[in-house]
Amino acid sequence: MDQMTPYFVYIILCEGDNFYTGYTKNVKSRFRMHVNGNGARFTKMHKPKDLVYVEEFASRSEAMKREKRIKRLTHAQKAKMARSYAKTVKTTRKRRKG
């Protein structure tokens, strides 16, 4: 059953220019939990500002491995991922409109 439901790794930009990385089945719902103070201890202390990166995986184990790798990255590397993702999302939205 784990194989059928996709999992997502996400990065949230928080106040103080901090990043929080996690994984979930439902990004929108999980982000809302973080914003409402019910997501994680870190996001209670560093209020979430924006969802800046999302990546989909076929299984929970793949998502967990990717989350671990991202957590080991430097702040600059995570910021680069977020900028690249933002460009990709903008391009995709433009294509859908046109």
What does each of the 98 residues of the chain score in pLDDT, given as a tens digit? 445 799 999 999 999 999 999 999 999 999 999 999 999 999 999 999 999 999 999 999 999 999 999 999 999 999 999 999 998 877 655 555 55
Q: Is 17 left (phi over 0), alpha (psi -120 to 50) or beta?
A: left
Cα distance between residue 32 and residue 3, in whole Å: 25
Q: CATH says 7-97 is which class?
A: alpha beta
Tell me the backbone φ, ψ of residue 80, rounded to 5 degrees: -65, -40
Q: Which amino acid is residue 92, in one-letter code?
A: T
Domain parsing of the chain, residue ranges: 7-97
Q: What is the pTM of this model?
A: 0.87
15: DSSP letter: T
